[in-house]
Structure 1
Amino acid sequence: MNVIRLEFIRFIIVGIINTLIYYGIYLMFNVMLEINYMASHIIGFAISLIVSFFLSSYFTFQVKPSLKKFLQFPLTQLFNISISSVLIYLFVEYLFIDSTIAPIVSLFITVPFTFLITGKILKK
């Protein structure tokens, strides 16, 4: 199996773990604490970003994490948070998709692009 294919499979595994963390935090803030869906999205994203960095470094791309990469990693996720935030807003406000489902739908669009960007940063 080629390296990129294995990395993508590991990326998906990390993504599933990270998504569960993000979504659990999102639901906790949005549903249980009744915090606005967009604020809940950003809080969940920030916490899952830290987890994602370490899982992506050690497991997905099998590189040693460094402070420099940690500081650059959020830049790779800037695309993700920007596009997913816009998509979630559009899904909730204009397509009337429930705010508990909208973040999951947005993942299908953002994941492939995030894989490419993350790999470029972590493998430098």
Structure 2
Amino acid sequence: MLKKESISEALRFCVVGVVATAIHYGIYWWLQHHIEVNIAYTVGYVVSFVANYLLSAHYTFRERTTARNGIGFVGAHVCNYLLQILLLNGFLWLGLSRSLAPLGVYAIAVPVNFLMIRFVFKHFRRS
């Protein structure tokens, strides 16, 4: 059974995830009409990353931003980015449209990202 704190944390993560995903997808959607799809995806990812870090720290996990959790967050997001870019190209290769492919990516990568980010903020918590 999940603790009440874990459920609340997961809900806050969902709110932050929706905001970060909307930023990412909005930037990607606009840019993919003008530049190469992987570059558009990467630019959207980087911009949403900053908002995601600040919101994850302060709102989701109620922690201060520190060098330690910042480095952990970057590390988790490097892994997450690689997973997402591989999935994006896989979905495109399978024939999904450029507009819909990120939705499949998010369905797989968001739960994985939650587990990695939760580990970062719980593992690097101040003593």
Match of 1:27? Answer: 29
Residue 72 (structure 1) shift: 2.5
Q: CA RMSD in A?
A: 1.2
Q: Name stretches of at least 5 consecutive residues in structure 2 with no aligned partner.
A: none
Match of 1:11 in 2: 13
**How far apart in 1 are the matches of 2:17 and 2:87?**
18
CA distance in 1: counterparts of 2:25 and 2:67, whole angstroms: 27
Aligned to 1:70: 70
Q: Which runs of 4+ in 1 moved over 3 A?
A: none
Cross-structure match for 2:102 = 103
Q: CA deviation at 1:28?
A: 2.1
Distance across 1 between alignment mates of 2:6 and 2:112: 14
Structure 1 alignment gaps of length 5 or more: none
Listed as ranges, the matches of 1:42-57 within 5 Å are 42-57=42-57
Which secondary structure does the structure 1 equivalent of 2:32 belong to?
helix
After alignment, is 14-23 or 70-79 more displaced?
A: 70-79
Amino acid at match of 1:122: F
- 1:84 & 1:122 partners in 2: Cα distance? 21
What is the CA distance between 1:71 and its match in structure 2?
Answer: 2.8
Q: Deviations over 1:17-68 (max 9, x none)?
A: 001100111122112xx10111101111011111100000011101011133
CA distance in 2, matches of 1:79, 1:91: 18
Alignment match, 2:115: 116
Return the offset for 1:4. Answer: 1.1
Q: CA deviation at 1:84?
A: 1.0
* Count of aligned pairs between the two proteins: 121
TM-score (norm 1): 0.91
1:60 aligns with: 60
